[in-house]
């Protein structure tokens, strides 16, 4: 299929882009296009205008400091994955990004675009939610910050207004004494995960003082479950808050089984990671 007809604008300033979005209710933002373009081709999306932000200056950054990692709207997955400073500040980024699609997709797709696409089968929305990060958005009305807990409204639906552009994402740094891990199961590496699980654990000596899990491809939105009080059977606790469903890729029962398999492995790996960081 071919996309439905649409107008196309490639602004050279953020102000021009915001004005175009404010004036066109049916406009969509185009950055990497790795999610949007297939939807256009299948006519699952039919915007009246595409506002291509790839010519906007100063939005392709990946900046790291002791607070965390800031990723601009035009930073490609591959650029975030290649940043040693980002991996040092928040190792979960590189762990998860290495599972995002294939190199060709990572070279073009943007991390911020993946976040606002709000696909619960994608890795980065879950990572932002688990790390309690945020996204900064801009419009003609000004700029605001949306916490990850308030970003995902439903399947493929974020809480951005139609005239807002996501300009930056913030991933908090990994705290001292904490560890992270990520694993997913897919039919082939780079395919969407049948189930993916990430963990963040805080430790005090050999004791786990807090444990949180994030899930990919299990519910309609990215879900985070605190299992600190259920470390004897964390998968059972997680499944009380998840909603596995049947689809063409896997049954709900199989997804629940994969949760039971992955959760203890990922928690153990995150705990080992915390210990390794303390020893180094």
Residue-wise DSSP of 35-76: THHHHHHTTS---SEEEE-TT-TT---EEEETTEEEEETT-B
Calculate mean pLDDT across residues 29-37: 95
Strands (E), 45-185: 49-52, 62-65, 68-72, 134-139, 142-147, 152-154, 157-158, 165-172, 178-185
pLDDT band at 2 (very low <50, low <70, confident <90, very high): confident
pLDDT band at 21 (very low <50, low <70, confident <90, very high): very high
Calculate mean pLDDT across residues 153-161: 96
Q: What proportion of the chain, given as a percentage, has pLDDT over 90?
A: 96
> Of 94-98, 160-164, 204-208, where does mean pLDDT reach its minimum?
204-208
pLDDT band at 190 (very low <50, low <70, confident <90, very high): confident
pLDDT band at 228 (very low <50, low <70, confident <90, very high): very high
Q: What is the mean pLDDT of the chain?
A: 96
Quote the CA–CA distance of 55 and 90 in Å, as a whole number: 29
The beta-carbon contacts of 80-85 under 8 Å, at least 24 apart in sequence, are 80/111, 81/106
Where does residue 145 rank: exposed (0-12), middle (13-18), buried (19+ CB within 10 A)?
A: exposed
206 has a pLDDT exceeding 90: no
115 has a pLDDT exceeding 80: yes
From the list 216, 227, 210, the residue with the least C-alpha distance to 183 is: 216
Q: Which H or E run includes 112?
A: helix 111-117
1 has a pLDDT exceeding 90: no
Quote the CA–CA distance of 220 and 52 in Å, as a whole number: 28
From the list 131, 134, 137, the residue with the least C-alpha distance to 93 is: 131
Whole-structure pTM value: 0.96
Quote the CA–CA distance of 242 and 223 in Å, as a whole number: 7
280 has a pLDDT exceeding 90: no
């Amino acid at each position: 299929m071919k996309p439905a007809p649409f107008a196309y604008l490639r602004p050279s300033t953020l102000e021009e882009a915001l004005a175009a979005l404010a004036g066109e209710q049916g406009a969509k933002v185009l950055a990497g296009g790795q999610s949007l373009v297939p939807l256009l081709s299948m006519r699952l999306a039919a915007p009246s205008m595409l506002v291509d932000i790839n010519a906007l200056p100063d939005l392709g950054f990946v900046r790291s400091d002791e607070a965390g990692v800031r990723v601009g709207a035009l930073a490609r997955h591959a650029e975030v994955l290649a940043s040693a400073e980002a991996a040092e500040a928040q190792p979960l980024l590189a762990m998860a990004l290495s599972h995002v699609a294939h190199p060709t997709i990572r070279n073009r797709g943007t991390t911020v675009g993946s976040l606002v696409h709000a696909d619960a089968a994608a890795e980065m929305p879950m990572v932002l939610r688990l790390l309690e990060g945020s996204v900064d958005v801009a419009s003609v009305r000004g700029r605001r910050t949306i916490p990850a807990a308030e970003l995902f409204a439903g399947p493929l639906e974020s809480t951005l207004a139609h005239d807002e552009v996501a300009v930056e994402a913030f991933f908090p740094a990994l705290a001292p004494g904490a560890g992270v891990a990520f694993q997913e199961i897919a039919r082939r590496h780079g395919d969407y995960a049948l189930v993916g699980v990430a963990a963040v654990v805080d430790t005090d000596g050999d004791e786990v003082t807090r444990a949180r899990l994030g899930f990919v491809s299990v519910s309609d939105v990215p879900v985070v479950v605190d299992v600190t009080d259920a470390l004897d059977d964390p998968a059972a606790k997680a499944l009380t808050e998840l909603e596995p469903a049947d689809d063409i890729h896997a049954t709900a029962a199989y997804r629940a089984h994969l949760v039971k398999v992955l959760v203890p492995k990922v928690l153990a790996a995150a705990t080992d990671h915390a210990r390794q960081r303390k020893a180094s």
